[in-house]
Structure 1
Amino acid sequence: MGVSDVSKRILLGRKLRSSQLGETLLPKRIALPVFASDALSSVAYAPDEIFIMLSLAGASAFVWSWKIGIVVACVMAAVVASYRQTVHAYPSGGGDYEVATVNLGSKAGTTVASALLVDYVLTVAVSISSGAQYAAGAIHPLNGHEAWFATLLVIVLAALNLRGIRESGTFFAIPTYAFMVAVLGMCAYGFFQFAFGDLPKAASAQYDLAPASGYGDTMTTAALVFLLARAFSSGCAALTGVEAISNGVPAFRRPKSKNAATTLLLLGLIAITMMLSIIVLAKQMGVQIVDPGDLSRLTLNGQPVTADQHPLIAQMADAIFHDFRAAFYFIITVTGIILVLAANTAFNGFPVLGSILAKDGYAPRALGSRGDRLAYSNGILFLAIMAIILIQIFDAEPTRLIQLYIVGVFVSFNLSQLGMIRHWTRHLKTEKDPSERARMYRSRVINAVGLTFTAVVLVIVLITKFFAGAWITILAMIVFYIVMRGIHRHYANVSEELAADDEDKMMPSRVHAIVLVSKLHKPTLRALAFAKATRPNVLEGVYVSVDPEATNRLLEEWDERNLDVPLKVLHSPYRELVRPIVEYAMEIRRANPRGVVAVYIPEYVVGRWWEQFLHNQTALRLKGRLLFAPGVMVTSVPYQLRSSEIVREREEREGTWVRPNEVRFGDVPERRRDRQIPRR
């Protein structure tokens, strides 16, 4: 096993057979943290965004926080209920993409796919950047290097997911459950204190919060409505990640649909409970929070506040567990970790969606290939690269990245709900069973309510966030849409061009074989012998002359050996080797358009990597040129140098070499044949 193989096995673990795919499927206890970490982690910043928006009108506007929270919770409940219908109707893992494609057409499906792809990339970038900022606040040396630290975190997450979703899911389960316990436990203890009148005030409650310019008491009703709409659209960040379960249904254990629907219900209940609890407690504790770039509006005794501003959860934990610092540090730690691990939802959803797009011809087919650990490795790597580029461009600043968020996911929400309504309407036309029809009517109503809610949110998001950065997301979606349609068109054209017809049965009228000669040595003689065995109509050796003396020596040796193959000498006054051969092959082809030109190239097989740079360079360039020559077939005739035996001997020692006779005569036992090891 080479160095690269050893490092790959250390990074990814042992290879898995295709038959072991069922072993990588997830039970509900693991699927919940794997697919729900994104939606649950949004609890760590969605309430902050609501309060930050409302702070523009001053502390008095915080009275609207719990009302906006309830509206966001209603939208989330409607979306969760809608997606429970989706996972039952479309359990193949296509999610929104499949629903839109089947019911609304390929263009709608491509639109959904482009929106989801952009949203998955943003999920990784936003979550990892938030985690990097938390880490920089606790580890001083990371200040100013957040982007590179975030890049490192993306690489680590990608490596974990390359090992397979079951192993990565087990790794992510502990911190995700710890986050649930920490936040819900903090909120429960906070409500207990509130019930007995002992709920402490947050440290920031002593600050005075001045309204932003143009807001406050002079604000008109229209301005207040617009502000509430902005706060609502920011709070809807809590809905991101809900759709990931519908895209990941194939990763669940059987019964897949039922387990996915149950996990989705648990996700909705936990996320809504956590979000509303944080918002209500934050309001009761008098938390003051503003945009990080607008701290001058916070004052204490008339003087601007110079202390660092902490997120809502950090401020609440600091006050509630003022006398129990271990709990405070535990909550801060697991919150920072969950923000990083939230990106794992995208690392599970993006590759599955990419594989479906590749199968349908809208993405490169490489995205549909499973790696050594049965994960869609190419999709994981592509997502990691795109997220790293975004993190570097925006310098890992969540405040800048968050403005790009939400748009894509709500575009897919809307088209998915509309597709589900058409799905149920189509099936109702043929269904006769009364109980089944009643179930379909109920499902259609649920999806209609979901469409109404998500459509309103999408309009609000577009109005309030377009110039703040949402236009970048829309532009990226358009680019993805154009690229995917172009890929699909290319695959369709290639498929049509490669379709077999009766003309393909016709034999070539003539085969003109040429063997490339550099010297008269063993590789050349082997290539000549192989070319003869194919019985071409014409066979000749071809030599490019750049040195008269070397040419004369070759001609003399050719005549001395009395080879029954003519030798054609192509003179090259400019010492070119590739061009004369290509032009000669094309002349033969033009002289006989229905014939075939077979070019045989002797090549050395070497065993050491550095020997590759010393041999076969001309052959590689020549094959690259002849690939574009119609009617020209290129055949490499290998000749194994002694150094190539190093590879064979190493494989024999490691048990990866199978002797031909063992396989041919069935001497390899079943166990050893699977592992491809020789008989000892």
Structure 2
Amino acid sequence: MVSAIKRFFIGRPLKSNMLGEQKLNKKKALAILSSDALSSVAYGPEQILIVLITVSATAFWYSIPIACAVLVLLTVLILSYRQIIFAYPHGGGAYIVSKENLGTNPGLIAGGSLLVDYILTVSVSVSAGTDALTSAFPGLHGHNVAIAVAFVVFLTLLNLRGVTESASILAYPVYLFVLALFVLIGVGIYQILTGTVPADLHPQLGAPVAGISLFILLRAFASGSSALTGVEAISNAIPNFKDPAPVNAAKTLTAMGILLGLLFSGIVFLAYYYGISPLAEVTVVSQIAEETFGRNFLYFFVQGTTALILILAANTGYSAFPLLAVNLATDKFIPRMFTVRGDRLGYSNGILILGLASILLIVAFGGHTEQLIPLYAVGVFIPFTLSQTGMLMKWIREKPKGWELKFAINSAGALICFTVTIIFFLTKFTQVWPVLVFLPIILYVFYRIKSHYLAVAEQLRISDRARAVALEGNVMIIPVAGITQVVQTSIDYARSLKVDQIIAVYIAFDKEDEKKFEAKWKQWQPDVRLATLYSPYRSVIHPLMKFIDTVEHKANELHYRVTVVIPQFIPKRGWQNILHNQSGFLIRAALLLRKNLIVITVPFHLKK
């Protein structure tokens, strides 16, 4: 039944040789890997105006030069990540670049930041989309958390079905959003050129503004740079592209950069020309759409696709998180389970962990995760800074042909990204300070996992110096609860092996029962030694452990091996297990923690 449910939601398993069919072409990759970056157009320009309004509406003209600065940073990042794609065609992005050029710790900081950031991507994006939905339908406000969790579950199941299947479904809303904004920007600019929009709604460029300062401008620039979150996702997901993967990834990255630049600059320009002010209850995009179209179909089309893109921005996390986790797991910094492909050839464990962590975050914050946006943004700019710096070191070390231009691009990127990171810490420390706590914790966990894997490898490695201890014999202990077929099967199994002694152990809860069982056993198995243990407190584990301790002590002196054989009957149907005591399971769990003791389970399958 469980298998049938799994097949219904996830689909039939795919053969390993079908992996090539699960690769993405450029159109689908652009949709699922750019959704996070493109969705930031819905709030990036607004973040600039929120900072400038603290001075006055007259300062809104600064949004134009600030937007130009953001576009310069976007250009630098796109050029830099194109270089990263060709330099590191197997994916990994900022983690691989930082680790190979700056060292293990910077690499782990970049990798850890991005892992957390992708979790934040899912929770913040889904929560924002849910807010947009419940704003349209106020009666749903009380169910924000449940709706957001339902969206995460839907995206998780969709991604478990495979990359191509999720891309086929999610591509339509992404491209509809792009179409809606291009229509909005195009109609808005047409109205401006034809004089439909009054020219006196906005402050003139260069108008003097009292109270403006470099600090305010840098803060507005940093806030607007939140529109660049998600730019790195394509460099992490190169293995998901069809061959030639690096070429296709680079073209997709360029297309994303062009779309993001056009949409971001268009929205900023319209917001400035229309004299839009940020409002708590209405987004900037909504105000522009209403000014441009009025409350008609096109307005609701823009709002609907915006809500969809905010939710689907989470899918960038589902695409990039599992592949980044594979790189970290390959280097033994996180559990190896992240390298295992599921039935549909995707990295299912990474997808499931991402979905579960996002749900926990949504529940913990009651669906109000907007206060996590600064943390989300700084979590991206730390890897941005490290990857740019790593590429600097690579060019200095290797000095390939034309490296001077590449060095200049990465120098500009590293400086700007570092500046943005510092501004975030200076201006929004109360919201971003957790990064100073969780990054050291993540690094500690990474190294603990790595040390465990190294210790395991050292102990499992076969060495010429390693010699097995010579054993003189074997003692088998069989805990028994009665005279049954399952006990008979276990004794027969023990006899079939080279065993020096078989000891059956019976735990009695009263003296009379102890005597009766000894008599029955003598008649049934007179050649098998029986040890009866009286347990006045009705414990099975404690007296059995003490008896095994005694046998082990004697066996060690004689160089004998001790094996415990646990008889276990298996009901025909799984649900029937709850009708029986699980004493065999408890004994086995206790014994597996003991050194130098072999534990064997002999199953007896019931037919009725």
Normalising by structure 1, report the TM-score: 0.85
* Conserved? CA contact 1:125–1:391, under 8 Å: yes
Alignment equivalent of 1:530, drawn from 481, 493, 510:
493
Give how far 1:446 is off: 2.5
Verify: 1:480 aligned to 2:479, yes or no. Answer: no
- What residue in structure 2 maps to residue 64 of structure 1? 62
Q: How does 1:88-167 map to 2 (within 5 A)?
A: 88-167=86-165
Alignment equivalent of 1:337, drawn from 289, 294, 308:
308
Rounded Cα–Cα distance in structure 2 between residues aligned with 1:155 and 1:23: 25
* Conserved? CA contact 1:200–1:320, under 8 Å: no
For 1:642, the aligned partner's letter is K
Give how far 1:508 is off: 2.8
- What residue in structure 1 maps to residue 480 of structure 2? 517
Is the alpha carbon distance of 1:13 and 1:569 closer, same or farther for their aligned partners in structure 2, counting shifts above 3 Å? same
Shifted more, 33-42 versus 527-536: the winner is: 527-536
Rounded Cα–Cα distance in structure 2 between residues aligned with 1:288 and 1:361: 50
- Equivalent position SS for 2:466: helix
Q: Deviations over 1:176-201 (max 9, x none)?
A: 01111110121112112222222369
Rounded Cα–Cα distance in structure 2 between residues aligned with 1:217 and 1:257: 47
Alignment equivalent of 1:288, drawn from 273, 277, 298:
277
Q: How does 1:244-323 map to 2 (within 5 A)?
A: 244-290=233-279, 292=280, 309-322=281-294
- What residue in structure 2 maps to residue 652 of structure 1? none
Give how far 1:401 is off: 2.2
Alignment equivalent of 1:631, drawn from 575, 596, 599:
596
Q: Deviations over 1:444-501 (max 9, x none)?
A: 333223212212222222222213x011233222322222222222222232233333
Alignment equivalent of 2:578, drawn from 605, 613, 620:
613
Verify: 1:559 aligned to 2:522, yes or no. Answer: yes
Give how far 1:604 is off: 0.4
Is the alpha carbon distance of 1:571 and 1:120 closer, same or farther for their aligned partners in structure 2, counting shifts above 3 Å? same
- What residue in structure 1 maps to residue 389 of structure 2? 418
Q: Tell me the C-alpha RMSD between the 2 structures.
A: 2.1
Give how far 1:535 is off: 1.0
Is the alpha carbon distance of 1:129 and 1:553 closer, same or farther for their aligned partners in structure 2, counting shifts above 3 Å? same
Alignment equivalent of 2:217, drawn from 203, 222, 228:
228
Rounded Cα–Cα distance in structure 2 between residues aligned with 1:624 and 1:600: 13
Q: Deviations over 1:197-229 (max 9, x none)?
A: 223699xx69x9xxxxxxx9762x5xx221111
- What residue in structure 2 maps to residue 494 of structure 1? 456
For 2:564, the aligned partner's letter is V
Shifted more, 592-601 versus 441-450: the winner is: 441-450
Verify: 1:458 aligned to 2:421, yes or no. Answer: yes
Give how far 1:590 is off: 1.8
Rounded Cα–Cα distance in structure 2 between residues aligned with 1:445 and 1:77: 13
Verify: 1:19 aligned to 2:8, yes or no. Answer: no
Is the alpha carbon distance of 1:506 and 1:425 closer, same or farther for their aligned partners in structure 2, counting shifts above 3 Å? farther
Normalising by structure 2, report the TM-score: 0.94
Rounded Cα–Cα distance in structure 2 between residues aligned with 1:391 and 1:562: 62
Is the alpha carbon distance of 1:505 and 1:445 closer, same or farther for their aligned partners in structure 2, counting shifts above 3 Å? farther
- What residue in structure 1 maps to residue 76 of structure 2? 78
* Conserved? CA contact 1:179–1:335, under 8 Å: yes
Q: How does 1:37-56 map to 2 (within 5 A)?
A: 37-56=35-54
Verify: 1:379 aligned to 2:350, yes or no. Answer: yes
Rounded Cα–Cα distance in structure 1 between residues aligned with 2:171 and 2:29: 9
Give how far 1:153 is off: 1.5
- What residue in structure 2 maps to residue 578 of structure 1? 541
- Equivalent position SS for 2:19: helix
Shifted more, 508-517 versus 438-447: the winner is: 438-447
Rounded Cα–Cα distance in structure 2 between residues aligned with 1:244 and 1:217: 39
* Conserved? CA contact 1:404–1:470, under 8 Å: yes
- Number of paired residues? 601
Give how far 1:34 is off: 0.8
Alignment equivalent of 2:339, drawn from 363, 368, 377:
368
For 2:420, the aligned partner's letter is V
Rounded Cα–Cα distance in structure 2 between residues aligned with 1:557 and 1:471: 71
* Conserved? CA contact 1:527–1:637, under 8 Å: yes
Query: 5+ unaligned residues in a row in structure 2: which ranges?
Result: none
Is the alpha carbon distance of 1:639 and 1:238 closer, same or farther for their aligned partners in structure 2, counting shifts above 3 Å? same
* Conserved? CA contact 1:118–1:476, under 8 Å: no
Rounded Cα–Cα distance in structure 2 between residues aligned with 1:282 and 1:237: 17
Give how far 1:553 is off: 3.2
Alignment equivalent of 1:444, drawn from 407, 413, 425:
407
Q: Deviations over 1:317-358 (max 9, x none)?
A: 112113x81111111110110000001001111111112212
- What residue in structure 2 maps to residue 388 of structure 1? 359
Rounded Cα–Cα distance in structure 2 between residues aligned with 1:615 and 1:356: 45
Rounded Cα–Cα distance in structure 1 between residues aligned with 2:26 and 2:142: 40
Is the alpha carbon distance of 1:217 and 1:65 closer, same or farther for their aligned partners in structure 2, counting shifts above 3 Å? closer
Give how far 1:98 is off: 1.0
For 2:248, the aligned partner's letter is N
* Conserved? CA contact 1:118–1:473, under 8 Å: no
* Conserved? CA contact 1:26–1:251, under 8 Å: yes
Give how far 1:120 is off: 1.0
Shifted more, 380-389 versus 621-630: the winner is: 380-389
Rounded Cα–Cα distance in structure 2 between residues aligned with 1:59 and 1:466: 26
Q: Deviations over 1:105-149 (max 9, x none)?
A: 211111111111121122112211211111111011112432332
Rounded Cα–Cα distance in structure 1 between residues aligned with 2:216 and 2:264: 20
Rounded Cα–Cα distance in structure 2 between residues aligned with 1:154 and 1:438: 47
For 1:409, the aligned partner's letter is V
- Equivalent position SS for 1:603: strand
For 1:370, the aligned partner's letter is R
For 2:298, the aligned partner's letter is A
Is the alpha carbon distance of 1:201 and 1:582 closer, same or farther for their aligned partners in structure 2, counting shifts above 3 Å? farther
Q: How does 1:153-192 map to 2 (within 5 A)?
A: 153-192=151-190
For 2:596, the aligned partner's letter is G
Shifted more, 543-552 versus 352-361: the winner is: 543-552
Q: Deviations over 1:373-405 (max 9, x none)?
A: 122222222222222222233333354222322
Alignment equivalent of 1:508, drawn from 454, 471, 478:
471
Give how far 1:68 is off: 0.4
- What residue in structure 1 maps to residue 226 of structure 2? 237
For 1:275, the aligned partner's letter is F
* Conserved? CA contact 1:545–1:569, under 8 Å: yes
Give how far 1:562 is off: 5.1
Rounded Cα–Cα distance in structure 2 between residues aligned with 1:444 and 1:96: 17
Is the alpha carbon distance of 1:200 and 1:348 closer, same or farther for their aligned partners in structure 2, counting shifts above 3 Å? farther
* Conserved? CA contact 1:589–1:631, under 8 Å: no
Give how far 1:624 is off: 1.0
Rounded Cα–Cα distance in structure 2 between residues aligned with 1:587 and 1:559: 23
Shifted more, 12-21 versus 139-148: the winner is: 139-148
For 2:285, the aligned partner's letter is I
* Conserved? CA contact 2:58–2:209, under 8 Å: no
For 2:228, the aligned partner's letter is L
* Conserved? CA contact 2:81–2:235, under 8 Å: yes
- What residue in structure 2 maps to residue 568 of structure 1? 531
Verify: 1:325 aligned to 2:288, yes or no. Answer: no
